[in-house]
Structure 1
């Protein structure tokens, strides 16, 4: 039974919406949701209703279906852990490059309020720390671009103006500096919110993996937004922050936590405002994310179902009417005025009906106050006279359908699963979809680590060995950052393991020319710090060092260890270089990801990133792979984008490179049977492994092995197949020319 607190009507105006046998009475905008109560039809509205038996049964079946599609406690927590780690990796990669900014992730992915079918993107806020948004002159900081937040009667609720202050003294700027500033009638120099319009994502993240924001196959889309940080909450939120809520949600402790978080201002003005170009929207995303982290699983399922209903019945016809953020706001309002024990598995349908009816009243009154900044009406001017009646009619249809409208939801096959469940069948194989989600989350996480590590290496790819070593040591110096949280330290270790391996490889490459025993010993100690990155990649770099120094015994020993640890049924290749289609992830990989709660430590057992050599590592890179560093002509260069810096390196997938090194090592050792087995394994891997990111490079290596076997015809075939995959920027063009030249001269 859902109970609501006792309260008094401040107005006699209210609307009444009937769903099933339950009425919901709501005041219109002058007292939103403060006056709600449930009553049974025909009874006095002061008496609470009993939920009908069909609602109990439907709720239990809906809960079962939502659990089956991955909206359960385990997957929600996995989403949050991995996306928080991803957030830390994003920020850290910026800081390691010397960029003064943090990246924060908000929205459904990190909240755990999405499904595979909803395909939610990640909302990334880039906080530019060189700005300092203040509300009091005492907060002014020397050397920062200080901006004074202005909130007066001329500014829309939930928005502010930013007055530019001097950098050298806590005084107002008095002279307009460029087109991004504006002098108002009071003589204040204001910053326009269009200042970032000319900065596209590629330019914005010129020192980062901006390409993944475009939605690489198998990787979530990221939507980056520039924002300016403010350490204190605006005056408009003071009422919410100071309210006393003993025994209610959110608790006083939760509000206190929110009070200590930061907020942002985003360059978006109120639509239709006279100051639209000058207003900045105040974002309380941190507090909102924290509140969502404190929902129980029924509340999360209710929100997910609201979004599915919204997309099924309203968004397609009226795309700019009701947003998912409005649904979230309605949900939080409903939770705040109900008892927490009312939100249970057997009341899911009743809670959903309550939220939908509340949403109906919001639309009818065109009033939905922001939960924290209550003066900000999210629905102001949102509906046209033509669309509003149709939206209300649609919502009424869903509310009064007694759950039948749920059978029209196609997302994640909710309609089929719910129908099967209502008919008494098990709708989904236990854990099938949750394991799929867990595998996808872990793969995305490994992709991000690989991507950011590679972009750090791309910053030193054309430096001299001494400068590259200095740059890497600068990256690693952030290890002593005292502001690191536990999750920051974990992210740091995951990224820098690749960098330690590269540092050791560069030192070893120098040692091959200088024959310095101490340098070589130090190089091996650095490389040992990166051996646990994944199953193979950094171990293969160490094996390459031994191979290039002629130490065949140790090369064979490491390769044997890698092959024993590389479980072909579980290990997933990871490549962040190319936009290529990701085929089905291994079932065992998914299952291991689902069963483990230590996602960051699991990477070293079930992922294998591609192996990367930059030019100052060239002496530790086998000759056959060195050609990949010089794969392009001047004409080929025109077919490259900014995100193709990896083409200046030698990059190869771990598994085919493992077999290639085995082939070369066994060839030196004169072990013909093992050599032929390795050669067959290269060909088999190229043929059967679906998720190779550098199949063209693997074919080039196989072609050179065929040349070594004097099998010219198959060598040509390998190079031709490689060119079918990548016509330009492919060293196969070089190999074919060399092979033709050899044949002519012979």
Structure 2
């Protein structure tokens, strides 16, 4: 067998091994989708808060080009939209006309002009600040060598919290189970700069990137990040041109072979370069750049499974040639050098790459990251022929060693955790958006108008994409997660309106929105529907929904801990049944959310009239001395499974199903004891205490309230329930049990509570 054929067979084997190590298409898309949706929602939240900041996730976390063993850093670009940047003065008139659709004399705003002179290296610019009249914008300025006021690049980064500075980023260092977070403040120019026009004009034999993709690049514009050229006397005034959106576009469109090639380059960097070369040396961005140039100069037909190692070797060859000369060109501006190491470091990196090139298969068998090397040995079972070439005996054995089993388990847990983290983040951001829309002082009519307007805005994905400066396809995908929650909330407000106007059944429009809200997750949308039916005394219909939920509440429906600070490495309990389902069926994020995740159920202050009386107390948790900044002060938030069994108990009581109501109560208690992921323990204990009080078990009731109060001493409605019990006890002692009407006494105390809080 020739060496070429050997490499082809080894490539095919390595292709499969990388899948098992976490570099599969499924895991890649999972990572990409989660981060892209999060980006859209975070930026929308900031815009609703009128903070004029766009958030973009770049690098491995968003590209999906990482594995559990790499635990790559997460790069977050924070773009300040309040100060647009223009290359030329004439671009400003175009911005007024096309973007603002106003005349220039109608409105003024702060902006900056790119300023490139003899003191500015290629790939960098200074930002000349132009301030609008009567504007209080505070930006650190300094005069450059020509006496022009320009923006200092350190001011924005110094104002951010970080552990250390790395180039243009403020870095929050790793904690167990977390990635480093690189926060990069930036400004943005909406147009591609003329100084980078070479990217569009250079000859491309194989048409990479395609003409359509290059057209999108121009629309994305560029960022300016706060870092200057290390050898420039004006480095504190310079901003580097960043093409991160264009880079991300390429990375998201990589073929599977190209994607795995890049992962291999990163693994070699981590396992063989990083341990022996200290300081600034080979970076993931340089590996990425070498692959981009190789893709541009190679026929796409070459990038196939059996050529994986050959493509990897081509990229390493290019890196070695660049680094040996001390110049690694930027892909988008080739005259810009992105190599940072000195001559000594350069030679040490070249030596490592040279050894890898001399025996690429041997080094691949030594890869430690995610146990790739060991798994490759087990699957390929290589021998050597009489000429000294690596040979395969043709037998692909099934790996059955501890390392392979450990890698498999780590990957499965990583995928499970990735689903949980991504969906929790999406659910949290969606809830925060909801809290920004409504105010506790809104009337029902006002709340309904606001929710209708919000839904209309969300359904106009093009407008949302334009506001948030996000790609349309990312925005449309994010809306699939947000809209069902908003539909359910509007449906419950319409249901309350039905109740207040004297209707005995839900209107057609109410039902339509509640049904659309069923897709929010596995439980919360359905529980909103059931709560509305309960409020309108449609107990049979309510029971039908609740029984269906209970019957289908499989063990692989897990609760999401949305409302508490937590260390994700210890508090997410693994559901083995769901873990197996995720691995074998490879569901999308949306599939897992709607079928297997139960988020907390939140009711706004405007929905108070829809709730059973015991839950209404939860909107009055805070006293005058309790000032912690918790976002859910004035809202009812209850774990979905707890609400399910509480409503079942209430409905069965209304229908005189005493045995069934007791059964539901027991399930409520056992769920609280068994489900570690529940996060509103105090609310559940308060509801349990109310039921014990109703059953005339004051000792058990007081014990439940005490447990609740112990778990959360402040911002807890247990105080009112205890006050009510003390009031009842005092009145019954004073008047005698025969003369004291518990219901009337409770109502009197509630009036006092409602009037004082």
TM-score (norm 1): 0.80
2:371 & 2:312 partners in 1: Cα distance?
A: 19
**1:190 is aligned to 2:142:** no
The equivalent residue for 1:457 is 434
Offset, 1:245? 1.0
1:136 & 1:108 partners in 2: Cα distance?
A: 34
Contact 1:149–1:160 (CA under 8 A) maintained in structure 2: yes
Offset, 1:406? 4.2
1:325 & 1:308 partners in 2: Cα distance?
A: 13
Structural mapping, 1:267-666, within 5 Å: 267-315=226-274, 318=278, 320-380=280-340, 382-383=341-342, 385=344, 387-388=345-346, 390-396=348-354, 398-400=356-358, 402-406=360-364, 409-423=367-381, 424-426=397-399, 439-459=416-436, 460-465=438-443, 467-478=446-457, 479-480=459-460, 482-483=462-463, 485=472, 487-509=474-496, 512=499, 515=502, 523=510, 525-566=512-553, 568-580=554-566, 581-588=571-578, 591-592=581-582, 595=585, 599-600=589-590, 603-637=593-627, 640-641=628-629, 644-666=630-652
Offset, 1:409? 4.1
Q: What SS does structure 1 have at the residue aligned with 2:229?
A: coil
1:320-371 CA-partner distances (Å, limit 9, x unpaired): 4332112211222333333434433334334334433443444333221111
Offset, 1:650? 1.4
**1:153 is aligned to 2:118:** yes
Structural mapping, 1:3-152, within 5 Å: 51-52=3-4, 54-97=6-49, 100-140=52-92, 141=96, 142=104, 143-152=108-117
Q: 1:561 to 1:179 in 2, by over 3 A?
A: closer
Structure 2 gaps, min length 5 = 97-103, 163-171, 382-396, 466-471, 734-757
Q: 1:339 to 1:355 in 2, by over 3 A?
A: same
Contact 1:505–1:523 (CA under 8 A) maintained in structure 2: yes
1:622-677 CA-partner distances (Å, limit 9, x unpaired): 2222333233444443xx34xx3124321111112101110121122221221122
- Between 1:221-230 and 1:593-602, the stretch displaced more is 593-602
Contact 1:589–1:606 (CA under 8 A) maintained in structure 2: no
1:29-48 CA-partner distances (Å, limit 9, x unpaired): xxxxxxxxxxxxxxxxxxxx
1:622 & 1:251 partners in 2: Cα distance?
A: 59
Alignment: residue pair count: 676
Structure 1 gaps, min length 5 = 2-49, 203-212
Contact 2:226–2:239 (CA under 8 A) maintained in structure 1: yes
1:150 & 1:273 partners in 2: Cα distance?
A: 15
1:411 & 1:465 partners in 2: Cα distance?
A: 58
- Between 1:323-332 and 1:730-739, the stretch displaced more is 730-739
Q: 1:725 to 1:308 in 2, by over 3 A?
A: farther
C-alpha root-mean-square deviation of aligned residues, in Å?
Answer: 3.8
Q: What SS does structure 2 have at the residue aligned with 1:119?
A: coil
1:674-709 CA-partner distances (Å, limit 9, x unpaired): 112211211222222232232343233233333333
Q: What SS does structure 2 have at the residue aligned with 1:307?
A: helix
Offset, 1:377? 0.7
Q: Which has the higher helix share?
A: 2
1:715 & 1:462 partners in 2: Cα distance?
A: 30
**1:165 is aligned to 2:130:** yes
Contact 1:244–1:252 (CA under 8 A) maintained in structure 2: no
TM-score (norm 2): 0.79
- Between 1:275-284 and 1:581-590, the stretch displaced more is 581-590
Contact 2:114–2:126 (CA under 8 A) maintained in structure 1: yes
Q: 1:709 to 1:524 in 2, by over 3 A?
A: same
Q: 1:279 to 1:590 in 2, by over 3 A?
A: farther
Contact 1:201–1:224 (CA under 8 A) maintained in structure 2: no
Higher relative contact order (CA 8 A, sep 6+): 1
Q: 1:405 to 1:215 in 2, by over 3 A?
A: closer
1:499 & 1:117 partners in 2: Cα distance?
A: 38
2:711 & 2:484 partners in 1: Cα distance?
A: 31
- Between 1:569-578 and 1:436-445, the stretch displaced more is 436-445
1:405 & 1:431 partners in 2: Cα distance?
A: 22
- Between 1:684-693 and 1:356-365, the stretch displaced more is 356-365
1:49-106 CA-partner distances (Å, limit 9, x unpaired): x745554444333222101123123333344344433333334444455554543332
**1:233 is aligned to 2:192:** yes
Q: What SS does structure 1 have at the residue aligned with 2:479?
A: helix
- Paired residue for 2:668, among 682, 685, 688? 682
Q: What SS does structure 2 have at the residue aligned with 1:531?
A: helix
Offset, 1:443? 3.3
Q: 1:598 to 1:60 in 2, by over 3 A?
A: closer
- Paired residue for 1:265, among 215, 224, 228? 224
Structural mapping, 1:250-261, within 5 Å: 250-261=209-220
Q: 1:256 to 1:52 in 2, by over 3 A?
A: same
